[in-house]
């Protein structure tokens, strides 16, 4: 149980770190802007994005680095199956872990934004 809670906290901190790195005006903002440009999107000065075309890349944007709650799906899966093997977490706890991480991501994000 303690291992699961530690894993949830680590995944949430990892997702929040990735989100901050790719956020508007931060270190890897140029990667995010490049991704938006190849997807056909335009970023306004207030940070909102206007999407011009409907492709699979547009739908992958949010889980990669666009939405802190959605990031638990992709990044949480990667971290769960790498660190989960080390702490021996059963696969049945995977959905519970991802949902808890999505909620914790949102709570942590509300604190620093």
Q: What is the CA radius of gyration of the chain?
A: 15
* For the chain, domain boundaries: 2-108
> Are 6 and 17 spatial neighbours (Cβ–Cβ below 8 Å)?
no
Residue 26 half-sphere exposure, CB side, CA atoms within 13 Å?
12
pTM comes to: 0.82
Helix (H) or strand (E) holding 68: none
Distances (CA, A) of 40 to 43, 64, 65, 78, 104: 10, 17, 17, 27, 31
Give the residue carrying structure tokens 């638990």.
72
Full pLDDT tens readout for the chain, 113 residues: 788 898 899 999 999 999 989 887 888 888 888 887 777 776 666 666 766 666 677 788 888 888 899 999 999 999 988 887 777 778 888 999 999 999 999 999 899 87
Q: What is the pLDDT of residue 48?
A: 67
């Amino acid at each position: 149980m303690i291992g699961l809670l530690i894993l949830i906290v680590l995944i949430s901190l990892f997702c929040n770190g990735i989100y901050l790195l790719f956020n508007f005006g931060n270190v890897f903002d140029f990667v995010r802007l490049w991704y938006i440009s190849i997807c056909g999107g335009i970023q306004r000065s207030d940070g909102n994005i206007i999407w011009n075309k409907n492709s699979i890349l547009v739908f992958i944007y949010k889980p990669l680095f666009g939405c802190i709650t959605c990031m638990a799906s992709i990044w949480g899966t990667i971290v769960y199956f790498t660190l989960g093997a080390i702490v021996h977490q059963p696969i049945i706890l995977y959905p519970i872990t991802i949902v808890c991480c999505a909620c914790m991501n949102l709570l942590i994000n509300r604190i620093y934004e």
